A and B are shown apart, each in its own frame.
Chain A
Amino acid sequence: MWLIKDAHVVDPAQEIDRTCDVLFDNTIIAIGTDLSDKDIPDDDSSLSIVNAAGKYLFPGLVDVHTHLREPGREDKEDIASGSRAAVRGGFTTILAMANTQPVIDNRGLVEFVLRQGERAKGARVLPVAAVTMGLQGNELVNMAELHKAGAVAFSDDGRGIQRAQTMLLALQYARLTGCPLISHCENESLAAGGSMRRGPRSARLGLAGIPASAESVMAARDVLLAQECGGKLHLAHLSTAAAVLALRWGKQQGIDVSGEVNPHHLIFCDDDIGLTDTSLKVNPPLPSAADRDVLLDALADGSIDMLATDHAPHAWEEKAQPFAEAPFGINAFETALAAVWTSLVKPGKLSVAQLVRAWSLNPARRFGVTGGSLRVGDPADIVLFDPDHAEVIGEGAWLSKSTNTPYWGQKMQGFPVAAWVGGELRADRSGMRIL
């Protein structure tokens, strides 16, 4: 049993945003001012008391977009390393995408991901199943069976579903499960062969460009399809102004649509790309500066519902190639919160409450998964965040198997110093002073 004293508790679900104490074991027992031994139901000798003055306490972050590479590419990451890196980064629940080798498109593999997650004792790992067999964009997976086995969403993420009819049927059929269908909005004929956003910067670098329309036309298409069939749609990794417009329009029409944005699309833009810095090569590509501003506004006003990392680990030698040949993806679990804190929260572009709403409450609600609030009786998925804690990335601990982050070697500030999953302390970088 834990008593965290004098933390700045931010829990938008209960509209708490003030200094108080939190008492929990497996579940939240009490939140209030001046909690003490007498608030503990029985005489519990295992009580740990933490003085958290100057630190924030949030419900654990929920990341709906991650790639854990197991099965198939355990050299880059596996479920154990990924879920531990995640909890070190402040995430207590993560959704693992299905584009592994083999693809998560059958019941055995859904159960495998769940079981590996339970063994790892990191963040809770919940499987996203593929929409189509082998991500081929043709036959649907057995959605009802996979949902029953534990899949919490469906996505062919990594590839867009090119045939509109397939997407329409998938949205329709997924209604059986109540799960969101996550769309990776990418028109392959428009994106073909590109390695960064098309614009003056790609022209200058001589890198084949991916036009914004490659995402926007698919976002617009999928919103219209969801309207037609009443499906539950979630737009992954939004990176264009027009896709945001499609999302806003969809919400105004009452369509059941939500959207996410990745930290790197809010922090970097295409002008930051250099010819040999493949750590910024990501799909969808970094937006123009103007589109980045639109994305940030949309997150701040709630049009974009949530943040998600799109954690995409890659082997060092794969990224140590000329830009056009390197794979897409940014390793994000252990830097994402510090990056958002430094680039968005500290300068006042996003409040702490907005941060917690977008990265904990909203994703937990939308996907119907554990976490998102600190109500009494909820599982104790908790993060203790120290805005002053600074680290040089790569010096000291690093739990992901890969290092493909643009922040490698840089000093960052604002880290989760402890995280509990179901009341169990699973990450602790604070040398927390337990009283």
Chain B
Amino acid sequence: MDLKPKPWQHKDLLGIEQLSAHDIAQIFQAAVSMKEILERPIKKLPTLRGKSVGMLFYEASTRTRVSFETAAKTLGADVGAFAVNTSSVSKGESLLDTAKTLDAMKFDLIVIRHASSGAAAFLADNLSAGVINAGDGQHEHPTQALLDAFTLCERFGPGAPSETVPGTGTKTDYTKTVPDKLLAGRKIVIVGDILHSRVARSNALCLRRLGADVTFVGPPTLLPPEMACWDVTISHDLDAVLQGADAVMALRLQLERQKSGLFPSVQEYAKLYGLTVGRLKQTCRETLLLHPGPMNRGVEIDSELADSFSSVVEEQVTNGVAVRMALIYLLIGGGFNS
């Protein structure tokens, strides 16, 4: 396995904000190799034997946590999971004291999900271990954005199979690409509750870094004008922006937002912003559909469409493990915190 990392400069992965296009390409290059490993019959490497990764999840999450655990274990690391609701955290321990405890246990890397924006950065400030942000409040969810972009690059990037001749693809060598042009000229539409979405924020940053054009779509209450700050296009009319979209990402709608008056009814929302097979035809091309999951069928996406793109969802799950393996490797395997 030839990962040949150029010097990796980051102790932590707190957000896409801190990553350059080059950093992202470096992660993808490692992820290509990791994905190959996942396709082997025996999926276990000794690379990180003796290293330990702690999982600190303050918010319920199954797929992200399991994805990280699988990634760490495949690389041979030990995994310690903290069940926050049964640990001293539920007895009122502060995040700072939890951080000090984790440091004393000599973890090499901590993966944190927390309801407060900045919680991962706060932990990183107070830990000598590396920190991966697995979602902090409404701020960032960088590994989700990286796996989404990796999936898009597989489909659209250099070395991707031709859109007209199936089966022509080769593995991309990201060391030979221009990182900030990986997705140049591609149009990505992200639709839903942008305001409250860390996935939308990280994706906007990541896709713009790689040269894609990004359009945010949602009702004005969930997409206020200041959300244009990532140099993205803002629209409230989904049908008007679908044409020419290479990929559409539907965000999960938190149904309780309706109760706080942010939109009048789920029915009206689905009518205006729900993705359907018919609606997606307006792109006039083969469009990749992404959803960070879990889905509300019949709200942001209708069932027929959801079922028709299940293969991509499975691909995303595999890519999620590969990208997280790549990150863990870069952070504590060959790189900075080792």
Q: Tell me which residues from 177 to 213 in chain A have a Cβ below 8 Å from any Cβ of chain B.
A: 198-200, 202-209
Residue B309, interface by CB 8 Å: no
Establish whether residues A322 and B117, one from each chain, have CB atoms under 8 Å apart when the complex forms: yes
Establish whether residues B118 and A205, one from each chain, have CB atoms under 8 Å apart when the complex forms: yes
Residue B137, interface by CB 8 Å: yes
Establish whether residues B118 and A323, one from each chain, have CB atoms under 8 Å apart when the complex forms: yes
- A206-B136, A206-B138 known; A275+B117 contact, CB < 8 A: yes
Establish whether residues A200 and B229, one from each chain, have CB atoms under 8 Å apart when the complex forms: yes
Complex CA–CA separation, A189 to B284 (angstroms): 44
What are 9 A-B pairs with beta-carbon distances under 8 A? A198-B226, A205-B117, A206-B139, A207-B117, A276-B118, A321-B95, A322-B114, A322-B117, A324-B116
Complex CA–CA separation, A199 to B224 (angstroms): 9
The 7 closest A-B pairs by CB, nearest first: A206-B139, A275-B118, A322-B116, A206-B138, A200-B229, A206-B117, A203-B226
Taking CB atoms, residues of chain B closer than 8 Å to A206 are 117, 136-140, 198, 201
Taking CB atoms, residues of chain A closer than 8 Å to B277 are none
* The one of A199, A320, A323 that contacts B117, using a Cβ cutoff of 8 Å: A323
Q: Nearest CB to that of B198 among chain A residues?
A: A206
Residue A43, interface by CB 8 Å: no
Taking CB atoms, residues of chain A closer than 8 Å to B96 are 317, 320-321
Q: Tell me which residues from 140 to 169 in chain B have a Cβ below 8 Å from any Cβ of chain A.
A: 140
Residue A428, interface by CB 8 Å: no
| A149 CB, min distance to chain B CBs, angstroms | 39
Q: Per-position contact with B for A310-322: 1 when CB-CB < 8 Å, else 0?
A: 0000000100111
Residue A325, interface by CB 8 Å: yes
Which of B119-127, B248-256, B321-329 contacts its partner? Answer: B119-127
Residue B317, interface by CB 8 Å: no
- A276-B122, A324-B137 known; A204+B117 contact, CB < 8 A: no
| A201 CB, min distance to chain B CBs, angstroms | 8
Complex CA–CA separation, A323 to B119 (angstroms): 8
Give chain B's interface residue range (CB within 8 Å of chain A).
Answer: 20 to 34
Complex CA–CA separation, A199 to B225 (angstroms): 9
Residue among A202, A317, A320, A324 with most chain B CB within 10 A: A324
Taking CB atoms, residues of chain A closer than 8 Å to B94 are 317, 320-321
Q: Nearest CB to that of A320 among chain B residues?
A: B96
Given A198-B226, A203-B224, A206-B117, 10 other A-B residues pairs in contact with their CB atoms under 8 A: A203-B195, A205-B117, A205-B118, A206-B136, A206-B137, A207-B137, A275-B117, A317-B94, A321-B94, A322-B136
Taking CB atoms, residues of chain A closer than 8 Å to B121 are 275-276
Give chain A's interface residue range (CB within 8 Å of chain B).
Answer: 20 to 34
Establish whether residues B118 and A204, one from each chain, have CB atoms under 8 Å apart when the complex forms: no
Q: Per-position contact with A for B57-84: 1 when CB-CB < 8 Å, else 0?
A: 0000000000000000000000000000
- A322-B117, A324-B118, A325-B116 known; A203+B229 contact, CB < 8 A: yes
Taking CB atoms, residues of chain A closer than 8 Å to B139 are 205-207, 275
Complex CA–CA separation, A199 to B122 (angstroms): 22
Residue B266, interface by CB 8 Å: no
Q: Per-position contact with A for B89-124: 1 when CB-CB < 8 Å, else 0?
A: 000001110000000000000000010111101100
Taking CB atoms, residues of chain B closer than 8 Å to A322 are 95, 114, 116-119, 122, 136-137
Q: Nearest CB to that of A318 among chain B residues?
A: B94
Residue B227, interface by CB 8 Å: yes
Residue among A202, A205, A320, A322 with most chain B CB within 10 A: A322
Complex CA–CA separation, A253 to B122 (angstroms): 49
| B78 CB, min distance to chain A CBs, angstroms | 28
- A206-B138, A206-B140, A322-B95 known; A199+B118 contact, CB < 8 A: no
Taking CB atoms, residues of chain A closer than 8 Å to B138 are 206-208
| B190 CB, min distance to chain A CBs, angstroms | 14
Establish whether residues A324 and B229, one from each chain, have CB atoms under 8 Å apart when the complex forms: no
Q: Nearest CB to that of A277 among chain B residues?
A: B118
| A290 CB, min distance to chain B CBs, angstroms | 13
Complex CA–CA separation, A198 to B117 (angstroms): 15
Complex CA–CA separation, A276 to B126 (angstroms): 11
Taking CB atoms, residues of chain B closer than 8 Å to A324 are 116-118, 137
Taking CB atoms, residues of chain B closer than 8 Å to A200 are 226, 229
Q: Nearest CB to that of B195 among chain A residues?
A: A203
Q: Per-position contact with B for A30-43: 1 when CB-CB < 8 Å, else 0?
A: 00000000000000
Complex CA–CA separation, A207 to B201 (angstroms): 12
Complex CA–CA separation, A205 to B121 (angstroms): 11
Complex CA–CA separation, A200 to B229 (angstroms): 6
Taking CB atoms, residues of chain B closer than 8 Å to A203 are 195, 224, 226-227, 229
- A206-B198, A322-B95 known; A199+B125 contact, CB < 8 A: no
| B206 CB, min distance to chain A CBs, angstroms | 14
Complex CA–CA separation, A209 to B138 (angstroms): 11
Taking CB atoms, residues of chain B closer than 8 Å to A276 are 118, 121-122, 125
Q: Tell me which residues from 117 to 139 in chain A have a Cβ below 8 Å from any Cβ of chain B.
A: none
Taking CB atoms, residues of chain B closer than 8 Å to A205 are 117-118, 139
Taking CB atoms, residues of chain A closer than 8 Å to B116 are 322-325
| B66 CB, min distance to chain A CBs, angstroms | 25
Complex CA–CA separation, A158 to B119 (angstroms): 26
Q: Tell me which residues from 322 to 341 in chain A have a Cβ below 8 Å from any Cβ of chain B.
A: 322-325
Q: Per-position contact with A for B223-252: 1 when CB-CB < 8 Å, else 0?
A: 010110110000000000000000000000
Complex CA–CA separation, A198 to B195 (angstroms): 12
Taking CB atoms, residues of chain A closer than 8 Å to B229 are 200, 203-204
Q: Nearest CB to that of A206 among chain B residues?
A: B139
Taking CB atoms, residues of chain B closer than 8 Å to A204 are 201, 229-230
| A279 CB, min distance to chain B CBs, angstroms | 13
Complex CA–CA separation, A198 to B125 (angstroms): 26
Complex CA–CA separation, A253 to B137 (angstroms): 46
| B13 CB, min distance to chain A CBs, angstroms | 15
Taking CB atoms, residues of chain A closer than 8 Å to B198 are 206
| A58 CB, min distance to chain B CBs, angstroms | 40
Q: Nearest CB to that of B139 among chain A residues?
A: A206
Establish whether residues B117 and A321, one from each chain, have CB atoms under 8 Å apart when the complex forms: no
Q: Nearest CB to that of B260 among chain A residues?
A: A192
| B229 CB, min distance to chain A CBs, angstroms | 4
Taking CB atoms, residues of chain B closer than 8 Å to A317 are 94, 96
Taking CB atoms, residues of chain B closer than 8 Å to A275 are 117-118, 121-122, 139
Residue among A208, A275, A323 with most chain B CB within 10 A: A275
| A426 CB, min distance to chain B CBs, angstroms | 37
Q: Per-position contact with B for A217-261: 1 when CB-CB < 8 Å, else 0?
A: 000000000000000000000000000000000000000000000
Residue among B118, B137, B227 with most chain A CB within 10 A: B118
Complex CA–CA separation, A200 to B232 (angstroms): 13
| A243 CB, min distance to chain B CBs, angstroms | 20
Taking CB atoms, residues of chain B closer than 8 Å to A208 are 138
| A272 CB, min distance to chain B CBs, angstroms | 15
